[in-house]
Amino acid sequence: MAGMFKNVFGSAGAKPDDDFADFVEAPNPSPASLLADTTTVPAANTLGADVPYTAWYRVWERTSLSDFKQEGMIMPVILLIVLFHLWGARKNRSKAKAWAQAHGPALQKEFAVVGFDGIARQAPVDDENVTVELTNPESLLKEKSACEFAAYATGRQNVAFLDVNLKMPKRYNPITYLMEYVFSFFFESWEPPVEKYEALLYAFDGKEKDLVPVLNKESTPVKVPSSTYDGFIWAVVHKSHMRKFRNDRYDASITFSKDNPKLPSWVTVMSENAEISDTLLTPELIQAIEQAGNDFEFLIVTDQPIDKPMKIEETVPKKRIQLSANLASSASGYSTTLPLFNQFLRLADKLVASAHFRTEVMRKIRNVREEEIKKLRRVEEDEKAEERRIAAEKVKKEERERILRGLSADEQRKFLDREAQKGQRRSMKKSTRKG
């Protein structure tokens, strides 16, 4: 019995079982020495035996110029693009500044407020040397983008306000800049890059009290002379731009072209009546157009929209005067087009004073506009009739579905059979009428 307990619980003198010999005789692990020299530097770098080991921040000791071949090819291209961008943006700003310096005095003589700050300035005396302050870019010009600038003026009799838009090539983007020239050379439909300004003058046309709130105040009654004139379309266009001008503008498409003996041979007149040309072609305007030469594109007096109207509301007359001319590289280069710009600013006064034509002339002009309005009215009536037809069919379809939902299966079959028979009878009647 004692021997049995000794075998179960073991005894001091018992021999271990052979199956557990590995566990019994396993040596105790000894801790690694903590006294190892950690300051020893390996003789060679693990990345390669040819490169000596250096600290991580000593990049120049682990690399050479041959490791940056790709960067060396990319960086000059990036630098060239950046320099081209800076040159192009600066070039465009320089041209815009030259336009402002040349036309700023004329704008200050004609308008009380010039620029976007809304500050009225004292008009200069004639023959006074006027210097336009351009230290603040918002004073006269606003940079809408690196290739487009805008100017604004208001505060003048017979003129509500003036908008000027300066357009230049995208010199700041070398790829786009070159592609525009290449595509315009190979494709006639692709418009080449332009350097021009378009001045758009909006006439009051007797609506001063609606557009100027101060004129409606009872405490300061102001007697405003009439600024109305007859509505018409009249333009002088350089012949090299005539085709595009007529195709792009709806108002120009309803005029007829005719050369005028008073004007140079390289321009033509687009008008609705010859009497209008006799009234507006003053000697000063003719001389200004001749002096502008090839820098002149077009001058138009219009009361119709540029885009073809799709609704009757878009045919409401809005009287405007627009001038388009090329930009010059410097302020002195505008000596040829500046007289035309001055005539453009004063053309509103000429219209108010003289653009009142005979009843027969205006009747012909109104007939053209009324004919266009009739076409739009017919289109609008057809659209409304189509809408009414679709609405009636929708109501009829809903009523049919409501009736079918209230019938049994047999009744629905009979209902559909009657519809099919009616359809056959209608088709037979139509075929009989055709025969």
Do 198 and 165 meet the contact criterion of CB atoms below 8 Å apart? yes
Are the beta carbons of 356 and 227 closer than 8 angstroms? no
Tens of pLDDT, residues 307-358: 998 888 888 889 999 999 999 888 888 989 999 999 999 999 999 999 999 9
How many other C-beta atoms can be found within 10 angstroms of the C-beta atom of residue 249? 23
- Residue 75's identity, in one-letter code, is M
pLDDT in the model for residue 19: 52
Question: Side chain identity at 419, as an amino acid letter?
Answer: E
**From CA 244, how far away is CA 192, in angstroms rounded?**
13
| Cα 313 to Cα 39: distance, rounded to the nearest angstrom | 90
Q: What is the band of 216 on the pLDDT scale with cuts at 50, 70, 90? A: low
What confidence score (pLDDT) does residue 325 get? 95
Model confidence at 44: pLDDT above 50: no
Task: Output the six-digit token pair for 129.
Answer: 């040397």
Tell me which DSSP letter residue 202 carries. E
Task: Give domain limits for the chain.
Answer: 91-364, 365-429
pTM of this structure: 0.73
